[in-house]
A and B are shown apart, each in its own frame.
Chain A
Amino acid sequence: MNEIQYISYKMPYLPDGPCAGKLIVIEGTDGCGRTTQALMLRKWLEVQGYGVIDTGWTRSKLVGQAITDLKQGHSLHRLTYCLMYATDLADRMEYQILPALRSGFIVLADRYVYTAIARGIVRGANEKWLQDLFGFAVVPDLVFYLRLPVLDLVPRVLESGKMNYWESGMDMNYGDDLYDSFIAYQGALIEQFDTMADRDSFITVDARQESELIQKQLRRTVGRYLEGPPAAAAAAG
């Protein structure tokens, strides 16, 4: 069994110990179908007898609500924006992700450090600083990148009836029109994700496909990665 690995910095106070679980990350811009895919993957894994927990972006008990509240106002600078995300992830890492990994769960993360880094870079934060800041996080076992070109994203977002202030990057003054701003902002995010996908060997999946086809690819890769049936399934069979 492997030790838990951290991206660049292991906090000395965190206990050493084996990592019995796996961390699977699903990344991609807003509206690419991440959450749906994560839910389907979870059910599939559970049917096979794997214990699964999911963890979502800005869902920490500590600052999840504070981030939502702050986004209502306009006092968030890119530095505070990035640091709040880091606080949120740190809280979830210590109270959800690490305990789950130690006790052998599969952790499904709907977004991870890459979302925060991409958003930070697009807002003008220093890339090296962002990588160091999020360097405390656990290294994922698999990272799926659901790639959706910006022009395919637009109708999805409009049909779901929301092109909101933050998803359109309106805080960055790309343009005073939601549509123009959305295109520029989401386009810049996709560019960052593409760069990271190459560098950090994400598994890129074409998110323009039917939902079932996407899920099939995720299951095939995850299944191969997990190698063989889990203890519970083996005992039952």
Chain B
Amino acid sequence: MNGLTQPHQFPGRLIVVEGIDGSGKSTQLQLALRYLQARGFSTFFTEWNSADLVKTVTKKGKKKQTLTPLTFSLLHATDFAHRLVHNILPPLKAGMIVLSDRYTYTAFARDVVRGVDRQWVRRVYSFAPRPDLALYFNVPIEVSVQRLLAGRAQLKDYEAGMDLHLASDKVSSFKLFQTRILQEYQGIIREYGLTEIDASRTIGEQQQIVRGLIDDMLKSFEPQLQAQETVA
């Protein structure tokens, strides 16, 4: 059983974006969502770490700082499984276009940097279907830090990888942590064939590329649900 290495059989389509914090991937996905909606497609949006099921547990663990790399990884996998079953699979089966802000690759990068076994975490997520389009937004670490710090005042502890004790202040820790994540992503891109996008280009330029890739991917797509809705 490994869903991530072979195309899924559902009538819908799955688009995911990946990249470190501040790579601009969420902005690009938001614009792609608008594009698809304007073209009349039935869409569904979902993001990493959003299921109510384990939210309270994760929050509690983070607050008390009792999460270990292993339990951190397993809680995220539990959250992902819950979202997959409740949010991602139904629209995929119904023939909709699902857009996911981060996917399993985020776990492959972050959890391994935290010290979890590389093969193990891939096996844990092997129940996930392979995306039809997986975009990786590649950004130099300095650009991502600038974007993040301009956007909001405080970095969160786990986001900055403070649990790894790489540095005593959050900005330095964030840089070191995200640099390691970038390195881990490089292997993942090759292993799973993610499409790399230069995230230091302008928002408009990137979106043009994204829309081109989406158009190509949708050539083989027959929007079943949409057709039914139009008739009704």
- A126 to B2: give the CA distance in the assembly, Å: 10
Q: Report the count of interface residues on A (CB-CB < 8 A).
A: 32
Interface pair B75/A87, CB less than 8 Å apart: yes
Question: Are the C-beta atoms of A80 and B81 separated by less than 8 Å?
Answer: yes
Once the chains are docked, how many angstroms separate the CA of A56 from the CA of B125? 27
Residue of A nearest to B70 (CB): A90
Tell me if B221 counts as interface (CB < 8 A to partner A). no
- Contacting chain A: which of B35-43, B113-121, B140-148, B173-181? B113-121
Q: Is the CB of A70 within 8 A of B117?
A: no
List 22 contacting pairs A-B, 8 Å CB cutoff, sorted by A.
Answer: A9-B120, A13-B69, A61-B66, A62-B60, A66-B54, A77-B82, A77-B85, A79-B85, A79-B127, A80-B81, A80-B82, A83-B81, A83-B124, A87-B74, A90-B74, A91-B71, A93-B70, A94-B71, A129-B126, A132-B126, A133-B123, A133-B124
Chain B 76-100 interface mask (CB, 8 Å, partner A; 1/0) = 0110011011100000000000000
Could you tell me if A129 and B1 are in contact, using CB atoms closer than 8 angstroms?
yes
Chain B's nearest CB lies how many Å from the CB of A131? 9
- Known pairs A12-B116, A77-B85, A80-B78; list 5 more (Cβ under 8 Å): A11-B115, A11-B120, A84-B78, A87-B75, A135-B120
Q: How far apart sit A234 and B89, CA to CA, in the bound complex (Å)?
A: 61
Given the complex of chains A and B, what is the CA–CA distance between A36 and B85 in angstroms? 38
User: Which residues on the B side are within 8 Å of A86 (C-beta)?
Assistant: 74
**Complex CA distance for A75 and B75, rounded to whole angstroms:** 16
What are the residues of chain A within 8 A of B81 when measuring CB–CB?
A: 77, 79-80, 83
Q: List the interface of chain B (C-beta within 8 A of A).
A: 1, 53-54, 56-57, 60-61, 66-71, 74-75, 77-78, 81-82, 84-86, 114-117, 119-120, 123-124, 126-127
User: Which residue of chain A lies nearest to B77 when distances are taken between CB atoms in the complex?
Assistant: A83
Q: Is the CB of A128 within 8 A of B117?
A: no
A212 to chain B, nearest CB (A): 39
Question: Is the beta-carbon distance between B115 and A12 smaller than 8 angstroms?
Answer: yes
Q: Would you list which residues of chain A between 173 and 211 have a CB under 8 Å from chain B?
A: none
**A126-B127, A129-B123 given as contacts; is B53 within 8 A of A75 (CB)?**
yes
Of all chain A residues, the one with the shortest Cβ separation from B126 is A129
Q: Are A10 and B68 in contact (CB under 8 A)?
A: no
Report the minimum CB–CB distance from B117 to chain A (whole Å). 5
Nearest first, the 3 closest Cβ-Cβ pairs linking A and B are: A13-B115, A132-B123, A79-B81
Closest to A73 in B: B53
Interface residues of A in 58-82 (CB under 8 A from B): 61-63, 66, 70, 75, 77, 79-80
Contact (Cβ within 8 A) A94 B53: no
* Interfacial chain A residues near B61, Cβ < 8 Å: 62
Docked-complex contact B66 and A62, CB < 8 angstroms:
yes
Q: Is A136 an interface residue (CB 8 A)?
A: yes
**Which residues of chain A (84-124) have a CB below 8 Å from chain B?**
84, 86-87, 90-91, 93-95
Bound-state CA distance A126–B68 (Å) is 26
B84 engages A79 (CB within 8 Å)? yes
What is the distance, in angstroms, from A220's C-beta to the closest C-beta of chain B?
Answer: 36
Contacts of A11 in B (CB 8 A): 69-70, 115-117, 120
Q: Which of A4-35 contact B (CB under 8 A)?
A: 8-14
